[in-house]
Amino acid sequence: MPLLSVRDLSTAFETETGLVTVVDHVSFELEAGETIGLVGESGCGKSVTALSIMGLLPRPSGRVKGGDVLFKDENLTRASPERLREVRGNRIAMIFQEPMTALNPVQRIGRQLAETYTLHEPELKSSDVAEKTLGLLEQVGIPAPESRLNDYPHQLSGGMRQRVMIAMALARHPDILIADEPTTALDVTIQAQILELLRELQRDTGMAIIFITHDLGVIAELCSRVVVMYAGRIAEQATVKSLFEHPLHPYTRGLLGSIPRLEDEPKTLLTTIPGIVPGIEELPDGCRFSNRCAYATDQCHREAPSLVAPSPERTVACHRWHEIIAETTRESSS
Ligand code: SF4
């Protein structure tokens, strides 16, 4: 049984023009100890999917309107707010792009970390809390952790703040860590260090990770499987290897084409995907990618493609996936 099954999840927001679905029949699974990537441009529904899993949708405008989120064999979409708080505090943790949104700016780091323990284990002696807190900072590679305990968040660099966030998320030994663009605001060197830290922590703790990003390069570094989302729907789902070797969805092909490659000649122009992700109130009929897709036909503008499984390890939602397979086969044999 998978650790987490997201089945046909649909999430909607109340807007001035009525209820708008922003996550539309999304399904994927996560095995224990696995890392999967949720990838797509801003506005594709990745973060809303994560917030739906966590029961953290903004109220009263957002709500899960259909589908299930099964954690082990418990359906979180039917759980009480108390039970969801318990799961969030203990079994599923989340870190965000900007740690300052989650850290209290006027409280010292040590106190914030200690609260993670005192809230859930009030019987712990203060000496044990202090020891565990220090251990957490050491685990996430913060140098001179004793002195850092007395720092306020603003006294730390962006990378150090993200390490503190990760420490807080790890305190309860979660089964799943949802990491929502945790390295996007960091420079490349620090980004590589945080990815390495997540890899090490996963190896040491066995937790599963859902890594949300717009960057397929990061996915290649960390994940075994990837779910590509576009305008609230799944475009393609595959192992990282098959997705990178044979992308089937034109959107995935566009995302991959925009990654610089070492073998490219200097000054080679990167490919870009024309246009932007449509807003939730202006989604086109048929395939939601149709107004940006070089392969679009009349059928694409009329009918939304269903997800089909060209092979056991992948699914794709595109009317023209057969032709794209034929095209990539020709490209790779020429
Ligand atoms: Fe492009 Fe049509 Fe495939 Fe959509 S269904 S991605 S518009 S070819």
pLDDT (tens digit per residue) in 131-146 = 999 999 999 999 999 9
Q: At what angle do helices 109-120 and 81-90 cross, to 10 degrees?
A: 130
Residues 212, 216, 222, 225: is their CA dihedral positive or negative? positive
What is the 8-class DSSP label of residue 105? T
**Rounded CA separation 186/206 (Å):** 26
Provide the residue-wise pLDDT of the chain in tens; the chain has 334 residues: 899 999 999 999 998 888 989 999 999 999 999 999 999 998 899 999 999 999 999 988 999 999 999 999 899 999 999 999 999 878 999 998 888 778 899 999 999 999 989 888 889 999 999 999 999 999 999 999 999 999 999 999 999 999 999 999 999 899 999 999 988 888 888 889 999 999 999 999 999 999 999 989 889 989 999 999 999 999 999 999 999 999 999 999 999 987 776 666 766 666 788 888 888 778 889 999 999 999 999 999 999 999 999 998 899 999 999 998 888 777 767 6
Whole-angstrom distance, CA of residue 8 vs CA of residue 24? 8
pTM of the model: 0.92
Distances (CA, A) of 263 to 85, 216, 267, 284, 318: 49, 17, 12, 37, 30
CA 307 to ligand 1 center in whole angstroms: 12
Q: Whole-angstrom Cα distance, residue 294 to residue 302?
A: 16
318: Cβ below 6 Å to ligand 1?
yes
Place of tokens 């990618």: 289
Instruction: Please measure the distance between the N-terminal and C-terminal CA atoms of the chain and give it in whole angstroms.
Output: 43
Nearest atom in ligand 1 to the alpha carbon of residue 235 is: 6
Mutating to test ligand 1, I would choose from 44, 292, 295 the residue with most ligand atoms within 8 A of its C-beta, which is 295
Describe the strand order of the beta sheet including 225-230 as a list of residue ranges.
Answer: 92-95, 176-180, 208-213, 35-39, 225-230, 233-239, 314-316, 308-311
Closest CA to 228 of 205, 252, 212, 210: 252
Mutational pocket test of ligand 1: of 289, 299, 302, 322, the residue with most ligand atoms within 8 Å of the beta carbon: 289
Ligand 1 atom nearest to 288, measured from its CA: 4
Give Cβ neighbours of residue 59 (< 8 Å, ≥ 6 apart): none
Q: Is the CB of 250 under 6 A from ligand 1?
A: yes
Cβ(54) to ligand 1 under 6 A? no
Pocket mutation for ligand 1, best pick of 249, 297, 300 (most atoms within 8 Å of C-beta): 300
Does 300 sit in the ligand 1 pocket, CB within 6 Å?
A: yes
293 Cβ closer than 6 Å to some ligand 1 atom: yes
* Paired tokens of 279: 């807003």
Whole-angstrom Cα distance, residue 59 to residue 57? 6
209-237 residue pLDDT tens: 999 999 898 899 899 999 999 999 999 99
Residues forming beta bridges with residue 238, ordered by sequence position: 226
Confirm or reject: Cβ of 305 under 6 Å from ligand 1.
yes
Strands 62-71 and 176-180: unpaired
Q: Rounding to the nearest 10 degrees, give the CA dihedral for residues 115, 117, 119, 125.
A: -100
Quote the ligand 1 centre to 294 CA distance (angstroms). Answer: 8
